[in-house]
Amino acid sequence: MSKERARRRAERLVVLEKEKAARARKVARRQRRRALVRRLTPQRRSSGRLHRRSRTQRAGIVVIPLAAAALVWFLVPELALRLVLIAMIVLVLPALVVVVLGRR
């Protein structure tokens, strides 16, 4: 009787080891697949300061001062006054961006 129990226990252990090995292979395959997908997908890097704003906000930050500079250039007759006003636009722009769009 004990030999029969030992034989059955050995069979169960063999089956359990096969199942454990199959699970380990499946987990390893899943990890390899995830690593491959992680390597192939592009990473979004937001280390720059421009990435804090949306695309339309960035476009506004560029287009509005350029339009203001163009207006100054075409409407102001004196060259010295044009340059001073454009310099003021450039110097005041960062403060206006923070005030209007807020800090994040």
Which domain does 67 fall in, by range?
Answer: 52-101
- Give the chain's domain count: 2
pLDDT for the residue 78 = 95
Q: How far apart are CA 13 and CA 10, in angstroms?
A: 5
pLDDT score at 42: 82
Distances in Å between the Cα of 22 and the Cα atoms of 8, 14, 19 are 21, 12, 5
Lowest mean pLDDT among 11-25, 26-40, 46-60: 46-60
Same domain, 40 and 77: no
Scan for tokens 């491959």, then name that residue: 36
Where is average pLDDT lowest: 45-54, 62-71, 75-84? 45-54
The reply to whether 75 and 96 lie within a common domain is: yes
The answer on pLDDT for 47 being more than 70 is no
Q: Which residue has the higher pLDDT, 45 or 86?
A: 86
Indicate whether 8 and 38 sit together in one domain. Answer: yes
Q: Can you give the pLDDT at residue 16? A: 95
How is residue 40 written in tokens?
């192939």
